[in-house]
Amino acid sequence: MSEAMPVLEVRGLRKSFGAVDALVGAELICPAGEVTALVGDNGAGKSTLIRCITGVYPPDGGAIAFKGAPIGFASPTEARALGIETVYQDLALVEDLTVWQNMYLNREVEHGIGPFRWLDRRRMIAETEAKLERLLVNMPPVRAKVRRLSGGQRQSIAIGRAASWGSALVIMDEPTAALGVRERGAVEALIGRLRGEGVAQLVISHDLEQVMRISDSVWVMRRGRTIARWRTREVDRTRIVAAIAGAEG
């Protein structure tokens, strides 16, 4: 399908919850520098697939390879350590903290040795500015509390944070579902910029217009299975809709 190096490759993934077979043969390839769209009806298995990739759920069968090496993530921490970051719909930002504090949440930089340690506030502020300025069009003040930011700014901060930590793969669950047209445009621009930097991005979206605008390939899931995959430029919306509904594949 693609000439680019696959950062992530999923083969025949299976996962059941009791009697519910959530995944019965999921496939996925996410190449570097590409936006891979994952689509499918409610309950198709998209979230379960992402949770298996990121170590939240152990799969029952199948294989996941990251940069060509097989992985069996035991925890989300391991996935993060390898460079897989996920932006969930709730964004995991702390409203009462500033932009820079959110950027360094659980990754605080300290000065000094032994008991004589303190947070290197100045460095964290400067680095947040440097990292986000490169990616964001309308950069909010890094000292502003997240509570005061617009929905689009929050989403951009969450994606920017995910991308800033040397991530090879950024996974986004409905990144613009709650946004207006302009804010959606800003987030899509950010996704475009990350693509230019060689980051592999996996985007779950119900918005097929958006899928056509931003993705390089589209993977369709239905009832736990990958049933279709295309290069985006070689498919149209009608065919994707038909596949989601089960008329194809």
Look up residue 129 and give its two tokens: 């500015």
CB of 75 to ligand ATP, least distance (A): 17
Considering only residues 29 through 48, tell me which ones interact with ligand ATP, judged by CB under 6 A. Answer: 40, 42-48
**What's the length of the chain?**
249
> Are residues 249 and 220 in contact, defined by beta-carbon separation less than 8 angstroms?
yes
Instruction: Give the residue among 170, 139, 173, 134 at the shortest CA–CA distance from 157.
Output: 139
Q: Which of residues 114-173 bind ligand ATP (CB under 6 A)?
A: none
CA R_g for the chain: 19
17 is a contact residue toward ligand ATP (CB under 6 A)? yes
90 is an interface residue for ligand ATP by CB under 6 A:
no
Q: How far is the CB of 47 from ligand ATP (least distance, A)?
A: 3
184 lies in the binding site for ligand ATP (CB under 6 A): no
Contacts of 36 (CB under 8 A, 6+ apart): 28, 29, 30, 200, 201, 202, 203, 215, 216, 217, 219
The minimum distance between CB 44 and ligand ATP, in angstroms, equals: 4
Contact predicate 191/175, CB 8 Å:
yes
Question: Which residue's CB is nearer to ligand ATP, number 79 or number 99?
Answer: 79
The least CB distance from residue 224 to ligand ATP, in Å, is 7
Q: Quick check: 55 binds ligand ATP (CB under 6 A)?
A: no
Spatial distance between the Cα atoms of 10 and 43, rounded to a whole number of angstroms: 19
For ligand ATP, the closer of residues 15 and 154 by Cβ is 15
Q: How far apart (Å, rounded) are the C-alpha atoms in residues 243 and 166?
A: 35
Answer for which of 8, 22, 132, 158 binds ligand ATP (CB under 6 A) is 22
Rounded to a whole number of angstroms, the minimum distance from the CB of residue 30 to ligand ATP is 17
Interface positions with ligand ATP (CB under 6 A) = 17, 20, 22, 40, 42-48
